[in-house]
Amino acid sequence: MNKTSMLYWYPLTMGLDIPQPKTNIVLQKDVKGWFKILDNGLDDEDKAVLEQSATQIGYPLFIRTDYSSAKHDFKDTCFVAGKSTLYQNLHNLFESNYCHNLYPEAIILREYLTLDWSFKAFACMPVAPERRYFISDGEVVCHHPYWVEDSIQFYCKNYVPPYDWKDKLRNMNTESISEIALLKGYAEKIASVLEGEFSVDFAKGRNEQWYFIDAASAIQSWHPNETENSSFDAHDIITSV
């Protein structure tokens, strides 16, 4: 199994004493079993399972595959405000996965976290403090803010970004000593159960709590080229966030 798949890393990390969003791995099929979604949608039995899980998680919710949430298209993919948009967003999500040569095997519903965002970007996606830590064989190798200025784009309809969004981003990307100590501890706990080289991502909630939200094989994860003392290169591909 590809270690970037949530079907690999989530069962290993779900029991750790680290804040994480409530998560249901709802439906699993082999790769061929999911292609029909784009043409025919889910059958009635799968719909019943999905809707029951959605009710359990509660709306709004966050939907993804085991590989990707296509979060840059936020309102049309991973963010599901209610049942009325569930199936269209699911269709868009799988379409995005396939367009990026990702072949998922599961639909996953997660608690929607209200993050400590300062502005919106892409398709109205809230941009909040996020961090990426790289781990290797039980140890933390390095860490970085997730959102860099050059990555931000604006194409949200009827939304005008604040004039000082770059200042807001710089403030979000400031890593305090206490934050680093906390997240390094979380990353070390994750490294204790994931063998090999991984990226692990954390996001800050409006409640001031940091959550472990994602992991991926390090070789399939973006990493800034300019960082010194790093054993990883940049891999500018879409991974599982």
pLDDT digits (tens, 9 = 90+) for 173-199: 999 999 999 999 999 999 999 999 999
Residue 100 structure tokens: 């990026």
Residue 202 has pLDDT above 90, yes or no: yes
Architecture of domain 119-220: 2-Layer Sandwich (3.30)
User: Which pTM was predicted?
Assistant: 0.90
Predicted local confidence at residue 40, as pLDDT = 81
Predicted local confidence at residue 228, as pLDDT = 39
Torsion of CA 217, 174, 139, 181, to 10 degrees: -140
Confidence of residue 80 (pLDDT cuts 50, 70, 90): very high
Residue 175 structure tokens: 């890593």
Go through 208-233 and write b for each residue having 16 or more CB atoms within 10 A of its CB, e for each that does not.
eebbbbbbbbbbbbbbeeeeeeeebe
User: What string of DSSP letters covers 101-157?
Assistant: T----EEEEEEPP-B--SEEEBTTEEE--EEEEEEETTEEEEEEES--GGG--B--T
Residue 207 has pLDDT above 90, yes or no: yes
